[in-house]
Amino acid sequence: MEELVNITLTMTLLGICAYFDLKEKKIPVLPIFLFIGFHIFFSVYQDNLRFISLLAALLLGAGFCLLSLFSKGALGMGDGLLAAACGVSLGFYKALALFFYGFLLTGLTGFLLLIRKKKSRKEELPLVPFLYLVYGGMCLLEL
């Protein structure tokens, strides 16, 4: 039951962020902070706080935020915060896999759109909708 709640909350967060990423090209930070806070509170409440796992998840998000700074915004700061939220929810390795496959799917889609001349090299693709699809696939494959 606890796993189903975690999956539902994570899918909801990714869905909300995907919607805003598609429509406004911005990721809302308030739901992300609420999500992280909820997970930390719930872990403390259950006396199940894994400090090392939490630290690794937050470092994953910090790494993506640094990547955002170095890429001059090609990868948004919201994506970094979302990486931290996914890390808190899924654990470091699953979150890393989620983002790896999300980047891969985004890149393949961009490549196909580029060779079909639907998008130019300068146009951006939103990342979060692909993360949403990848996470849905990860959930289906695990069930």
- Per-residue pLDDT of 32-84, as tens digits, reads 999 998 888 877 776 666 777 778 888 888 888 888 888 877 788 889 899 99
Whether the CB-CB separation of 57 and 84 falls below 8 Å is answered with yes
Q: What is the mean pLDDT of the chain?
A: 87
Q: What is residue 101's predicted lDDT score, i.e. its pLDDT?
A: 96
Confidence of residue 143 (pLDDT cuts 50, 70, 90): low
Kind and range of the H or E element at 110? Answer: helix 92-115
**pTM given for the model:** 0.88
Terminal CA-to-CA distance of the chain, rounded, Å?
Answer: 13
Whether the CB-CB separation of 118 and 17 falls below 8 Å is answered with no
Residues 6+ apart with CB under 8 A from 68: 74, 75, 76, 77, 79, 80
